[in-house]
Amino acid sequence: MKISFFSSKSYDRDYFARFNTHYQLKFYDTALSLESVDLLTDSQVVCVFVNDQLNAEVIAQLAAKNVKIIALRCAGFNNVDLEAAKAHGIAVVRVPAYSPHAVAEHAVALIMTLNRKTHKAYNRVREGNFSLERLTGFDIFGKTVGVVGTGKIGEAFAGIMKGFGCRVVAYDIQPHPDLIALGIEYVPLNELLAASDIVSLHCPLTPQTNRLINEETLQLMKPNAMLINTSRGGLVDTKAVIKSLKTGHLGYLGIDVYEQEADLFFNDFSESIIQDDMLMRLMSFPNVLITSHQGFFTEEALCQIAQVTFQNLQDFEAGTLNPATTLVKP
Ligand code: NAI
């Protein structure tokens, strides 16, 4: 069976080659979209990532090209029209948990960098500037941290923040008994926003969570609070966040994901004129830290992604798809 990879990078080629047993692998650098779908020839499997666009039109084209299965090498699936896949009899599988710790730990890295300004200190010291002026941080110990979405990543994150000595409050449409046992209090979203010094988003992007953080909900947050988003860019209304940062109400912003990231993230534009004025405005704030969707990017996660993807395909061939990794059955 031939697998066609879209949006592939050197690390995809390395890790998938390492765990490949018998598949023929074809790697395309370009993202899958209506414009690029014609690249695909005689492949029953497409393997895609977070910013590939699998809307109904693209899926119809895949069906016409005899694609039998879409293998997502990620957890989130907001970029795939599952109903269209179902209608065309194309199976959809994913890697639901490659390393929840990787993303949770990256959220903590964003918090610690924004707070203790280690990125600024690193540059200062290398230039012989040993001044502490404007590097003041705050103790994380004793602060209230709000976790929105307490699935695998949210749970790992809540556990770490408990370890820091924080009061952790959570909001989820399905509270988890394990977290309550850990001493984590579930509260309504508006209470979480009003109580938290740090708010971290770990719920999926759905019609219900789209722009969960907007002008209204930002107003509910404590003045000078920190907002962390390592989940999906669409959870946050970027324009409203910029407005809140400009007034000084939102104290810090750390994002690993961005609404319009598909045109930029994972690629090198260091010699180009970036056209995204919102992102450039965000970058101009001293209290904003942006990383380009690297939360998942650890050795352990890359191994897991390749292994689970190959296992999904073997299960598909054997007619024994694992319900835990299957979004649409053929
Ligand atoms: P999960 O499925 O284990 O947990 C999601 C949680 O969100 C569940 O407890 C669910 O009940 C809750 N939820 C659903 N709708 C909600 C709503 N309307 N309000 C509040 N909570 C709601 O997912 P997991 O593995 O923890 O991943 C969370 C998200 O993290 C993914 O959907 C993905 O968008 C993002 N992610 C980001 C990565 C990165 O590299 N930055 C890597 C992997 C995932």
Each residue's pLDDT tens digit, 284-313: 999 999 999 999 999 999 999 999 999 999
The pLDDT of 51-59, averaged and rounded, is 97
Helix (H) or strand (E) holding 107: helix 100-116
The ranges assigned to domains in the chain are 2-98+298-328, 100-290
Q: Does the beta carbon of 151 lie inside 6 Å of ligand 1?
A: yes
- The token duo for 40 is 């695909």
What's the CA dihedral at 62, 66, 69, 75 to 10 degrees? -10
Condensed to tens digits (0 to 9), the pLDDT of residues 118-140 reads 999 999 999 999 999 999 999 99
Q: Which CATH number fits domain 100-290: 2.20.25.90, 3.40.50.1100, 3.40.50.720, 3.40.1390.10?
A: 3.40.50.720
Q: Does the beta carbon of 150 lie inside 6 Å of ligand 1?
A: yes
Closest residue (by CA) to atom 12 of ligand 1? 149
Say how far apart CA 37 and CA 57 lie, in whole Å.
10
- Domains 2-98+298-328 and 100-290 alike in fold: yes
* pLDDT at position 74 over 90: yes
Condensed to tens digits (0 to 9), the pLDDT of residues 88-104 reads 999 999 999 889 999 99
Q: Does the beta carbon of 173 lie inside 6 Å of ligand 1?
A: yes
- The token duo for 53 is 């666009």
Paired residues of 25 in beta bridges: 3
How much distance in Å is there from the Cα of 60 to the middle of ligand 1?
28
Structure letter (DSSP) for residue 235: G
Q: Are 330 and 69 within 8 A, CB to CB?
A: yes
Q: Are 184 and 161 within 8 A, CB to CB?
A: no
- The token duo for 213 is 């953080």
Q: In one letter, which amino acid is 323?
A: P
Say how far apart CA 22 and CA 104 lie, in whole Å.
34
How much distance in Å is there from the Cα of 44 to the middle of ligand 1?
29
Q: Does the beta carbon of 234 lie inside 6 Å of ligand 1?
A: no
Q: Does the beta carbon of 53 lie inside 6 Å of ligand 1?
A: no
Q: 2-98+298-328 sits in which CATH class?
A: alpha beta
Catalytic residues: 232, 261
Closest residue (by CA) to atom 4 of ligand 1? 151
The pLDDT of 13-27, averaged and rounded, is 96
Q: Does the beta carbon of 207 lie inside 6 Å of ligand 1?
A: no
Note the pLDDT of residue 308: 97
How much distance in Å is there from the Cα of 171 to the middle of ligand 1?
12
pLDDT class for 181, splitting at 50, 70, 90?
very high
Note the pLDDT of residue 286: 97
Percent of the chain with pLDDT over 90: 97
Look at residues 56, 67, 150, 160 and name the one whose alpha carbon lies nearest to residue 107.
160
Point out the ligand 1 atom lying closest to the alpha carbon of residue 232. 34
Note the pLDDT of residue 144: 98
The pLDDT of 162-191, averaged and rounded, is 96
How much distance in Å is there from the Cα of 230 to the middle of ligand 1?
10
Point out the ligand 1 atom lying closest to the alpha carbon of residue 231. 35
The pLDDT of 197-203, averaged and rounded, is 98
pLDDT class for 18, splitting at 50, 70, 90?
very high
Note the pLDDT of residue 97: 87
Condensed to tens digits (0 to 9), the pLDDT of residues 210-261 reads 999 999 999 999 999 999 999 999 999 999 999 999 999 999 999 999 999 9
Closest residue (by CA) to atom 5 of ligand 1? 151
Q: Does the beta carbon of 232 lie inside 6 Å of ligand 1?
A: yes
pLDDT class for 280, splitting at 50, 70, 90?
very high
* Residue written as token pair 């400009």: 246
pLDDT class for 159, splitting at 50, 70, 90?
very high
Note the pLDDT of residue 98: 87
Q: Are 228 and 108 within 8 A, CB to CB?
A: no
Note the pLDDT of residue 247: 98
How much distance in Å is there from the Cα of 206 to the middle of ligand 1?
10
Pocket test for ligand 1, best of 7, 103, 228 (most atoms within 8 A of CB): 103
Say how far apart CA 4 and CA 2 lie, in whole Å.
7
How much distance in Å is there from the Cα of 229 to the middle of ligand 1?
11
Q: Does the beta carbon of 153 lie inside 6 Å of ligand 1?
A: yes
Q: Does the beta carbon of 101 lie inside 6 Å of ligand 1?
A: no
Measured over the CA atoms of residue 13, residue 17, residue 20 and residue 22, the dihedral's sign is positive
Q: Does the beta carbon of 209 lie inside 6 Å of ligand 1?
A: yes
How much distance in Å is there from the Cα of 21 to the middle of ligand 1?
31
Percent of the chain with pLDDT over 70: 100
Residue 298: exposure state from Cβ atoms within 10 A (0-12, 13-18, ≥19): middle
Point out the ligand 1 atom lying closest to the alpha carbon of residue 230. 41
